Structure 1
Amino acid sequence: MSQPFVLDELVQKIKQWGKELGFQQVGICDTDLSASEPALQEWLDKQYHGEMEWMARHGMMRARPHELLPGTLRVISVRMNYLPTGAAFASTLKNPQLGYVSRYALGRDYHKLLRQRLKQLGERIREHCTELNFRPFVDSAPLLERPLAEKAGLGWTGKHSLILNKEAGSFFFLGELLVDIPLPVDKPVEEGCGRCVACMTICPTQAIVAPYTVDARRCISYLTIELEGAIPEELRPLMGNRIYGCDDCQLICPWNRFSQLTDEADFSPRKALHTPELLALFAWDETHFLKVTEGSAIRRIGHLRWLRNIAVALGNAPWESSVLDALEQRKGEHPLLDEHIEWAIAQQLAKREALSVTVSSAQQQRLVRAIEKGLSRDA
């Protein structure tokens, strides 16, 4: 395996095998991420990771794949499209009576699917090489997957911190296969964001605090998925009807005009999650929640946080007596949920009062006009 032309041939085989396994692109890089360590340390020092203590637990190991799997010489980085047909972005986000679930979570949990395919890729390489140590990763270990993907030529890091590809936008998953053979590496691509700051401007909570830097504590994806406690009150009105994740920074990105649809049936939207009514979701008991989210990434947040997120969305919805009734009916189940229900009820009552004032004002104006018309006749 030491002859260069043999390794070049193997790389071509690996990329072909990757495509046969459903990956849209396969790239290869070395394990040196030392250039990413200062930015990672600064991000941690500023507490931008919020309650994700696991981000800091392993220190700089995230930038050192060879420490994660001793003997690692190369990282095979892959991407797989997940955007489903009929994603219904706008129609869901613009209807405050519906709940918006980030499009990556509408189907089967991607972790298991990608990891299985990466394992199959590793086994094919092992069959060809006779000897090979490998280990697949999909958000399952302290590893800086985006810098690795960038280094492997899959795209560049956008100002929203996600990987962007000129032919595919950003609606894709990433995965890594650590191997102990000295494969030729790919070249990084040029950055393509230029002066564009659309993602920074559109972010509902202004979580992108600087180009390429996200303060997770303000990010709706973090608030609805990673945060275990109460959502900060000042951020709740900004969340709208987003109940699991957020896609705004991707939706506004010009490069996502070139997004490619997935051909993976497992990523097809589940009907109950695609364009769901908030009131219907809020009525789910835990048994139904677990049934609907079986094999889904959503299940990991649990029923309590699911209801917490929906309560916030109901607070942001237009005034409806049915919303108020639904909120009242779930009071007393858990202190965390009660806190968000009380907030949502207060929002609903404030909207009812504002609507009442508006109606009264309109009635008053009609009365004044009637009186003026009568006086005009008498004159």
Structure 2
Amino acid sequence: MRQWARDLGFSQIGVAGVDLSAAEPGLLAWLANGFHGQMAYMETHGVRRARPAELVPGTASVITARMDYLAATPEGWQAIEFERLQRSREAIVSLYARGRDYHKVLRARLQKLSERIAGEIGPFGHRVFTDSAPVLEVELAARSGQGWRGRHTLVLNREGGSMFFLGEVYVDFALPPTERVADHCGSCTACMDVCPTGAIVAPYRLDARRCISYLTIEHAGAIPVELRPLMGNRIYGCDDCQLVCPWNKFAQPAVLPDFAPRGAFVGQPLTALFAWSEDEFLRHTEGSPIRRIGHERWLRNIAVALGNALCKADDAQIRAALQARLDHPSALVQEHVRWALEVSLARKP
């Protein structure tokens, strides 16, 4: 089965049991604190996330898989990405989102893995998941030997860092669980220290309401004013806690060409992306995870980044781009455009 998984582009597979009851108190406390923000589906499903056999009746084991997504980059890629953040006029898209939508890629290949297994043992009950259902992916990955949970809440692997996607196959037959691996973070708190908005409020505890990935992707309304200056030029997601992690010097390049970066999402001026019409947005984001936020939120995010760029240095082109969107049909876009213009003027010496 491991060889089949490698043939399909997976870096590693493992097996977890279905008793995740030890994770329920932490999940409930996270929800009680409201750390899930507007992600109502997290609360709707509640502890069902920790009960695979309730989500898919008959589930006896969970096969977990991880797939590397980092594009082939020169040594020192982390420093290169940090340097991009200093170029305030350049749009920054999270590394994982620069290529094809991972939901589609992993789901299709997990299904193929399931078919290979069925070809060997006969038909069996199963369902595949990739960040698409009430599944405790990190918990299952950690329990199945994929790595350990880092302080930033992501899975870390000694041979692969954290630059990978996770997926699962719930199956109706029992398999021996994979041995867990030990935590290797030691006393390091680099991920907590680097977070621009202080979203990692305690080790292994993330307040999504402050996380730039949440704000630019999951959050539907106005971005809190106090957090906007901290977003810099990040317009979709944030990689800082992964970029600073020492274990990511071992991050492996993607095997599949699907995750190769699209030119539209690397090194582009904010003004160029802000000028996209809705049709252009849909064309450029076809098959991309970015499409899910829609054109309105895309413009909202870029307006914030443009305002932050103006605060660093006045730029007639940026100011003109913002002014051209002042009469946008969306009140949400208008509000963020006005903020960008006004805050830059207020910060001028």
TM class by smaller structure: over 0.9
Identity %: 56
Gaps of 5+ in 1: 1-13, 355-379
Amino acid in the other structure paired with 1:278 = L
Task: Give deviations 1:110-158, integer Å, cap 9, x for gaps.
Answer: 0011000000111111111113111100011101010000000000000
Give SS of 2:176's match. coil
2:17 to 30, 33, 36: 30
Cα shift at 1:79: 0.3
Which residue of the partner structure matches residue 67 of structure 2? 80
Which residue of the partner structure matches residue 323 of structure 2? 328
Query: Conserved in 1, the CA contact under 8 Å of 2:82 and 2:243?
Result: no
Task: Give deviations 1:60-119, integer Å, cap 9, x for gaps.
Answer: 110011111111111000000001123651342121010100000000000011000000
Cα shift at 1:217: 0.2
Which residue of the partner structure matches residue 47 of structure 1? 34
Are 1:260 and 2:275 counterparts? no
Q: Which has the larger radius of gyration?
A: 1
Gaps of 5+ in 2: none
Which residue of the partner structure matches residue 287 of structure 1? 279
**CA RMSD across the alignment:** 0.9
Which residue of the partner structure matches residue 146 of structure 2? 154
TM-score of the two chains, using structure 2 as the length reference = 0.96
Query: Conserved in 2, the CA contact under 8 Å of 1:324 and 1:348?
Result: no
TM-score of the two chains, using structure 1 as the length reference = 0.88
Task: Give deviations 1:135-192, integer Å, cap 9, x for gaps.
Answer: 1000111010100000000000000000000111000000000111111111110001
Distance in 2, matches of 1:31 and 1:93, equals 41
Cα shift at 1:58: 1.1
Amino acid in the other structure paired with 2:105 = L
Amino acid in the other structure paired with 1:320 = D
Amino acid in the other structure paired with 1:113 = V
Query: Conserved in 2, the CA contact under 8 Å of 1:31 and 1:65?
Result: yes
Cα shift at 1:263: 2.0
Give SS of 1:224's match. helix
After the TM superposition, which segments of 4 or more aligned residues of structure 1 sit over 6 Å from their partners? none
Which residue of the partner structure matches residue 232 of structure 1? 224
Which residue of the partner structure matches residue 87 of structure 2? 95
Distance in 1, matches of 2:284 and 2:298, equals 12
Query: Conserved in 2, the CA contact under 8 Å of 1:31 and 1:75?
Result: yes
Which residue of the partner structure matches residue 360 of structure 1? none
Distance in 2, matches of 1:153 and 1:225, equals 29
Query: Conserved in 2, the CA contact under 8 Å of 1:161 and 1:213?
Result: yes
Greater relative contact order, per chain length (Cα 8 Å cut-off, separation 6+): 2
Amino acid in the other structure paired with 2:137 = E
Distance in 1, matches of 2:72 and 2:93, equals 15
Which residue of the partner structure matches residue 179 of structure 1? 171
Query: Conserved in 2, the CA contact under 8 Å of 1:76 and 1:179?
Result: yes
Give SS of 2:177's match. coil
Deviates more, 1:150-159 or 1:182-191: 182-191
Distance in 2, matches of 1:115 and 1:286, equals 28
Are 1:272 and 2:264 counterparts? yes
Task: Give deviations 1:14-69, integer Å, cap 9, x for gaps.
Answer: 11111111100000111111010000000000000000000010121100111111
